[in-house]
Structure 1
């Protein structure tokens, strides 16, 4: 799984979404993230098909929404997702949230079936706290490959990073720019100025230093390319420590159906 991907949440204009996916892939991205709930799987598929990049070179991930997590609904909705995306399989399928119709044994049995069929190449979870991940590991036959969560310098997810390292799964950061708040941080903008780069690049490079994959949303070419440039930005240990010491906690995504542990 490439450590930088293109996020597509709220990229719901079909033409713009398809163009941004095509632009990102042709600029050098090889990881695209979508979800049933985003309503853009067909546009993402159009962008992948239009890009001058072979499908087998693209790491494609999608997610099953909370209302589709009963066993039969998982199977039916994923068949629809594959059809919308125009692919035979996705590289990673996530449980979007441990809520709604989620039942670990029933839901994950369907994920195991899809894994055995080859319709999904890896099983993931999203917005799971450590105890949810451990339950999933106990229930699944397939390994848990990744947990996608909100993560950025204002929500560093120390507990989950330690848990991921202990149990050998990947962390994927959504909203890695804190929905634009990184541009308001004196620490991040100061480091960015020192390097002649954007605060977005600094945040993405910090995540990479933590061993975390990031999937920032971007629609225009300039932002797409700027985010990609973060892969060549190296932060010093002192700079990483300065970001670690930022005294601010700010969870940007906090729905009322989120895990109780967030309360």
Structure 2
């Protein structure tokens, strides 16, 4: 959780952005840091998790550049200082697992984070080998969350993950996908295997999960990670150069990023959203969506209608 005595000037100084030409003043002054980031329970354990995390697809797939490492370290610093904990990666994401491991281990808060990655291969032995490699790359003795990426060979991997959870090697296990067409299959796996987590796509203009997936999640008490909250940047391209509605400020929304993320968080079944970024000021913007007032049902539909009319 963010240091309660930290001022906006402290955040700017520590972020290295105090002199940058970025309109982030409202982003940092729009919430009461005394309250901390919104936390939601993981149903299977009642452990509390901050509602905004970090995805690493593409953004952390970098080489050995000192400059890139410095910037990504600052992204992690901002996440930690503003209350975020969860980092999601995968063997599919190129160099991301190694970069996450190297950079987090160089910080003082590495053991305060919640590490999530995935298995993305076929076969029991190949899956176990790949997951062991992920442990080494991310420099973890125990993984907080191991997920079956895009349901690849899930019937095989689920057995391993249940065993590893029982042995204490992983704390939670889950399943993932990123398309609307996968939601029915995700539901089937939730009903038959009852994973701790399910990760899937959901956004203000991509609401297929509301048809029945969320109801299954509610019934089986599954924690949720939301990917593609900005629809791969399409939402920002759609709103470029346009002002957010004045009434959005009643819900502590001062940017389009906060607008999109707070819509998602207005669904109480969302445990954590994992937008990806490699830019510290975007990390600040994302994190602040976890502070302040959350839109109610009426307002979330108002938000949706406003965007649809653009």
Please report the TM-score for the alignment, with normalisation by the length of structure 2: 0.69
CA distance 1:115–1:197, shift in 2 (3 Å): same
CA distance 1:203–1:73, shift in 2 (3 Å): same
The whole-number CA distance in structure 2 between the counterparts of 1:6 and 1:135 is 25
SS in 2 for 1:189: coil
Higher relative contact order (CA 8 A, sep 6+): 2
SS in 1 for 2:109: coil
SS in 2 for 1:29: coil
Matched, 1:227 2:286: yes
CA distance 1:216–1:160, shift in 2 (3 Å): same
Contact 2:51 2:84 in 1 (8 A): no
SS in 2 for 1:122: strand
Please report the TM-score for the alignment, with normalisation by the length of structure 1: 0.81
CA distance 1:75–1:246, shift in 2 (3 Å): farther
In the alignment, what sits opposite 2:103? 47
SS in 1 for 2:188: helix
CA RMSD of aligned residues (A): 2.5
In the alignment, what sits opposite 1:252? none
The whole-number CA distance in structure 2 between the counterparts of 1:97 and 1:78 is 15
How is 1:29-40 mapped onto 2 (pairs within 5 angstroms)? 29-39=84-94, 40=96
CA distance 1:146–1:244, shift in 2 (3 Å): farther
The whole-number CA distance in structure 1 between the counterparts of 2:223 and 2:140 is 24
Matched, 1:202 2:259: yes
The whole-number CA distance in structure 2 between the counterparts of 1:112 and 1:21 is 30
In the alignment, what sits opposite 1:261? none
In the alignment, what sits opposite 2:57? 9
Q: Which runs of 5+ in 1 are unaligned?
A: 249-263
CA distance 1:111–1:44, shift in 2 (3 Å): same
How is 1:130-141 mapped onto 2 (pairs within 5 angstroms)? 130-135=184-189, 137-138=191-192, 140=193
CA distance 1:197–1:175, shift in 2 (3 Å): same
Largest Rg, 1 or 2 = 2
The whole-number CA distance in structure 2 between the counterparts of 1:121 and 1:188 is 43
CA distance 1:122–1:202, shift in 2 (3 Å): same
SS in 2 for 1:62: strand
The whole-number CA distance in structure 2 between the counterparts of 1:134 and 1:77 is 25
Q: Which runs of 5+ in 2 are unaligned?
A: 1-48, 64-68
In the alignment, what sits opposite 2:204? 153
How is 1:40-119 mapped onto 2 (pairs within 5 angstroms)? 40-55=96-111, 57-65=112-120, 68-99=121-152, 102-104=153-155, 106-119=156-169
Q: Please state how far the C-alpha of 1:153 moved relative to its aligned partner.
A: 0.5
CA distance 1:120–1:29, shift in 2 (3 Å): same
Higher helix fraction: Structure 1 or Structure 2? 1
Contact 2:78 2:284 in 1 (8 A): no
In terms of mean alpha carbon deviation, does 182-191 or 15-24 score higher? 182-191
